[in-house]
Amino acid sequence: MEKSGSMDSLGSKQSSSRHPSVDSLSSSERSAQVKPSSAMLSETATSAEFSPDIRVKAKIHAKQVLRDSDKEEPQLLPNEIVQDMAQDITYFCPFTGAVRGILTVSNYRLFFKCMDREPSFVLDLPLGVVSRVEKIGSASSRGDVSYGLVCKDMRNLRFAHKQLDDTLRKSIFEVLMKFAFPVSNGLQIFAFQYGQVFPENGWKVYDAVSEYKRQGIPNESWRITKVNDHYELCDTYPSTMAVPVNIPDEELKRIAAFRAKGRIPVLSWIHPESQATVTRCSQPMVGVNGKRSKEDEKYLQAIMDANAQSHKLFIFDARPSVNAAANKMKGGGYESEDAYQNAELVFLDIHNIHVMRESLRKLKDIVYPNIEDSHWLSNLESTHWLEHIKLILAGALRIADKVESGKTSVVVHCSDGWDRTAQLTSLAMLMLDAYYRTIRGFQVLLEKEWLSFGHRFQLRIGHGDKNHTDADRSPVFIQFVDCVWQLTRQFPAAFEFNEYFLVTILDHLYSCLFGTFLCNSEQQRVKEEIPKRTVSLWSYINSQLEEFTNPLYVNFSNHVLFPVVSLRHLELWVGYYIRWNPRMRPQEPVHQRHKELLAKRAELQKRVDELQREVTNRSASSSSERAGSPTRSITPVQTFV
């Protein structure tokens, strides 16, 4: 068995020195080499910089480490190194049966290829999607050793190989385990080695100051505070935040003491007309004794006062009321309406990360590998997945409705304010603000509401960590993307991005190819120099926007989306959850047809223009004596994109 890369040569700190293939890529510098985000704040970059003219067709002449003669090997990415290769591996495909082939493991991927078949069978996945590797049973009578891979992307894989004669030799699956869980094995996540250069630098997509500026902040009621510049007020919050003007930084510190993990209420979004706001925070530390904080009460009053349109404030607690009450035992709780006058507290009944994890597990059970012919709908119902989706969307709809129709400011929190709260604020903002429905706007939304406000991606996904039973893991973000997909189904022309965009984001949530979803907070990302040392997913996406664009997109200004949050309109996202099933051929895409029609129109337009020119020239040369210029009637046909 050939080994192209010795594992011993792989040190976790070598990434910068191991560039041979990258250096040959192009003369340009790694676009990912930018200053850490704290430094970016001083830059004046606005989102307008990223206008579509940047959309240069990317031409990267990466000479891959691919040897044409050796087709069993995958096409490797920059700095990807094959770690092990094994012949005679059996893959038990749940759909087509067992296939025998060659398995390759690199520091990034698992690659299985069976050449005996026509067309040849290929399995190619990033090791990041692997949640667990298990040896199944002991060696069978035929001397086979079997391994099961449970993946984070709704599939399980099963392989087998012959019992090795040399018991001292490591099985390829042991190698695989090492590289699938680099964090547990003291290795580096592949994103730190991947050196691909893209024409656009995705780390520049989001700049907090520019985004607040877009929203009109600072204004007479809201200011940008630097109190968290060094993450001292709250280590899970961003360094740049918007707070009411009349609350000085000193007071913010006292409020932080009263909010779980110091996550004080800060601005997420402000309505351009009514000035009604969406603010987010964690639960108040009320405790069993009903502790109060004058500063916190004053602060919420200030949030309310910042909106002259309404004399009320809605506090949306994402949790079921019983859960919120139970939190008092641990010092947490919720705002009492006695303490917070003019505030109305509403519980949104959304369940916690454990419930969601369990629900998705049940869903996987019924969709992978096969769907039973009978009881599909009741089986789906019993997973409660769509009901959770409904509760989240219903909560976001209530928030959007209060802000848009009620012109009332809202405060959103759950327990810590980084899971359900992120889901709710970002979905409400998608409904309220058409900017977030563009491709770049959606990236800004994720960077802001999820990444900068400390959704704990590392813990929830468990990048490179073998501890698959970790109770901190939960599909909160997947659930959010599912909700977004539901919105795109109800409003097919309201989003600039397509389904593939959402699937790509979820694929790279796990792949560990890009740095975007690494770490738990902005502070950690700064410390790890993520923007400097890794490539952003947005670099990849924004360098080929066409792939991700919804051709049906119509940018209607001021179009607030009010989805129908009913199971009648909620569907299972078949294109994501059931995509491994070969029976799930995607529906004939409407978008595809639209693209063809666009091409057709462009071609016709060209021909009409040509003919018009021809006619104009002809009549100009032949009949100069005729009165009245014929060109007057040749108004170009108006077409609108």
Partner 1 sequence: MFSVKPMKPTFKSYLPPVQSDVKKTIEPPIKKLEPKLLPGEIVVNEANFVRKCISVESSQDDLWGKLICTNFKVSFIPQDAPSKPTVAEMMKLNPIVVDRVTRSASCSVAQKFQLSHLLLGEHDIPLTCLEHVVTVNDTKGKKKVLGSNQKLKFNPTELILYCKDLRIIRFCFDEAGPESAKKVCLAIAHYSHPADLHLLFGFEYQGRRYHESKAERLNTPVRRGGLQTPIFDRRSEWDREIKRTGASEWRVCSINELYNISSSLPEYIVVPVSLADQDLKQYSIFLTGNRLPLWCWNHRNGSALVRMASVCDPVQQRKIEQRIITAITKSHPQCSEVFISDLDKCLPSIQDIQSSFVKIRQICVIDPFEESEERWLSSIENSRWLEYVRAFLKHASEMVYHLDGRNVSVILQEEEDRDLNCVVSSLVQLMVDPHYRSLVGFQGLVQKEWVMAGHRFLDRCNHLKKNDKEESPLFVLFLDGVWQMMNQYPAAFEFTEAYLTVLSDSMWIPLFSTFLFSSPKQRAQYLMDFARNKAIPQGEDPIVYFPPVWDWSQQFSAKDQTLFNNPMYVGKGAAYVLNGEVKSFRRTKKYGSAYRGASATLRNGLKGGEDPLSRRGSLGSELKAEFSPMKYVVESPSERFFREWFSRPADQQGLLLPQLTPSHMALWKLYFLRWVPEACISKGGSITAYHKLSQLVDEIEILQNHLRQYKAPTPSGTPLPSPKGPPADQRRMYFQAASPNDSPPEFLSSSFPFTPVGNLCRRSIHGTPISKFLNGARIWLSTETLANDSL
287 binds partner 1, rule: CB under 8 A: no
Stretch that binds partner 1, among 31-39, 171-179, 180-188, 400-408 (CB under 8 A): 400-408
Please report whether residue 511 would count as binding partner 1 according to CB under 8 A.
Answer: yes
| Residue entry with tokens 């993520």 | 530
In this structure, the strands spanning 277-281 and 343-347 are unpaired
Which residues lie closer than 8 Å to 92 by C-beta, 6 or more apart? 98, 158, 159, 160
| CB-based contact 228:523 (threshold 8 Å) | no
Residues 71-100 that bind partner 1 (CB under 8 A): 74-75, 77, 93, 95-99
Half-sphere exposure of 283 (CA within 13 A, CB side): 28
Q: Is residue 53 at the binding interface for partner 1, with CB under 8 A as the rule? A: no
Q: Which residues are catalytic?
A: 414
Judged by CB under 8 A, the chain residues 147 through 176 that form the site for partner 1 are 153, 155
User: Is there binding between residue 22 and partner 1 (CB under 8 A)?
Assistant: no
Q: How far apart are the first and last CA of the chain?
A: 57
Q: CB within 8 A of 505, min separation 6: which ones?
A: 446, 481, 537
The nearest distance, CB 514 to partner 1, in angstroms, is 9
What x-and-dash track marks residues 566-585 binding partner 1 by CB under 8 A? xxxx-xx-x---xxxxxxxx
**218 vs 491 by CB, closer to partner 1:** 491
On whether the CB atoms of residues 89 and 101 are closer than 8 A, the answer is yes
Which residues in the 360-399 window bind partner 1 by CB under 8 A? 367, 371-378, 380-381, 384, 386-387, 390-391, 394, 398
| Short-list 393, 439, 399, CA closest to 571 | 393
- Residue 168: HSE in the Cβ half-sphere, 13 Å Cα cutoff: 0
- 596 interacts with partner 1 by CB under 8 A: yes
Which amino acid appears at position 302 of this protein? A
> For partner 1, which residue of 8, 53, 68, 165 counts as binding (CB under 8 A)?
68
Pick the closer one to partner 1 by CB: 39 or 66: 66
Q: Which is nearer to partner 1, 80 or 449 (by Cβ)?
A: 80
355 binds partner 1 (CB under 8 A): yes
- Window of 116-124, 158-166, 227-235, 516-524 that interacts with partner 1 by CB under 8 A: 116-124
Does 319 sit near partner 1 (CB under 8 A)? yes
State yes or no: residue 62 binds partner 1 (CB under 8 A). yes
Strand order in 109-114's β-sheet? 121-126, 109-114, 97-106, 82-93, 156-162, 144-151, 130-136
**554 contacts partner 1 (rule: CB under 8 A):** yes
Cis, peptide link before residue 218, omega less than 30° from 0: yes
Paired residues of 449 in beta bridges: none
Q: Which is nearer to partner 1, 290 or 376 (CB)?
A: 376
Binding region for partner 1 (CB under 8 A) out of 29-37, 166-174, 230-238, 617-625: 617-625
Of residues 97 and 186, the one with the C-beta less far from partner 1: 97
Return the range that interacts with partner 1 (CB under 8 A); candidates 7-15, 131-139, 184-192, 542-550.
542-550
Triad 180, 61, 595: Cα angle to 5°? 90
